[in-house]
Amino acid sequence: MIEVRGFMKAYAGRTLFAGFDSTFERGKSTVITGKSGSGKSTLLRILNRLERQDEGTLRIGDLEIPANLPHAEWRRRAHALRRRVGMVFQGYHLFPHLDVLQNVTLAPVRAFGVDPRIAEQRGLELLSAVGMDGARDRRPARLSGGESQRVAIARALATEPEALLLDEPTSALDPRSTEDVVRVIEGLRAKGLTLVIVTHHQELARRLGDRVVEVGAVGDSGSLHRL
Ligand SMILES: Nc1ncnc2c1ncn2[C@@H]1O[C@H](COP(=O)(O)OP(=O)(O)O)[C@@H](O)[C@H]1O
Ligand SMILES: [Mg+2]
């Protein structure tokens, strides 16, 4: 479970959200919507500890990360959580100089010391699960958007996270690639992975979400509320 209490983040004096509370239940899927610039990507980056909230507390499982932790302690706790939450970035961000399988095995081997042969075997299973078996030797430049996104999902799953954050996973895709990616996400949902999905697509929100949270919808005050 991921719990957010009293979150606030400000950039250059602009408050993105204030007093935001939300609970991302284990095994549930939450869709986050909201206007461009309202702070959706920022929220995901905070949940993934790529950034820190300015106020409020983040709790993941039994670990609590308040806003005012000293930096060294923040890093220690953020690291302890690293494997438990995976992220699929807007725009894929695959490593261009690595082939598909290397993209998937890099984090387990380099960051978590998994035996390369085990990581490779698991990587091939993941590629198969996202319909990308046969692409192990290809470079990202030779993949379509939909293929890149499915590899990015396999990569995020390679560290066996309990929760997966997806930032506009279909926004750059044509309808057919969108359907391929949505099916993959539906499969993850059916397996009980906790999902947090940023999307503008109403139909996707209905298909993929147990609930919808809208960012910055109250009188455009920059706050978040729950629907
Ligand atoms: N690292 C940063 N430094 C300064 N401003 C930022 C940074 N990241 C995001 N912002 C600003 O915060 C606002 C929200 O950004 P973002 O979370 O990407 O919104 P969304 O994903 O909802 O479109 C934007 O106005 C953006 O310019
Ligand atoms: Mg964004």
Please give the full DSSP string across the chain, using - where no structure is assigned: -EEEEEEEEEETTEEEEEEEEEEE-TT-EEEEEE-TTSSHHHHHHHHTTSS--SEEEEEETTEEEETT--HHHHHHHHHHTGGGEEEE-TT----TTS-HHHHHHHIIIIIH---HHHHHHHHHHHHHHTT-TT-TT--GGGS-HHHHHHHHHHHHHTT--SEEEEESTTTT--HHHHHHHHHHHHHHHHTT-EEEEE---HHHHHHH-SEEEEES-STTSS-EEE-
Q: Which domains does the chain have, with CATH numbers?
A: 2-226 (3.40.50.300)
Please give the number of the atom of ligand 1 that sits closest to the Cα of 34.
22
Average predicted confidence (pLDDT) for the chain:
91
Task: Evaluate: CB of 41 within 6 angstroms of ligand 1.
Answer: yes
pTM, rounded to two decimals: 0.92
Tokens describing residue 18: 């204030």
Distance from Cα 43 to the centre of ligand 2, integer Å: 9
Yes or no: say if 67 and 57 are a contact pair by the CB < 8 Å rule: yes
- Asked if residue 74 has pLDDT above 60, the reply is yes
pLDDT for 205-221, tens place per residue? 999 999 999 887 543 33
- Over residues 32-54, the pLDDT tens digits come to 998 888 899 999 999 999 999 99
The pLDDT > 70 percentage for the chain reads 95
| CA of 39 relative to ligand 1 center, distance in Å | 6
Structure tokens at 139: 């470079």
**Ligand minimally distant from the alpha carbon of residue 15:** 1
Please answer whether residues 217 and 52 qualify as being in contact, where contact means their C-beta atoms are separated by less than 8 angstroms. no
Please identify, by atom number, the ligand 1 atom nearest to the C-alpha of residue 43: 17
Nearest CA to ligand 1 atom 5: 11
Please tell me the residue having the least CA distance from ligand 1 atom 17.
39
Instruction: Say which ligand is closest to the CA of 34.
Output: 1
| Residue 91 CB less than 6 A away from ligand 1 | no
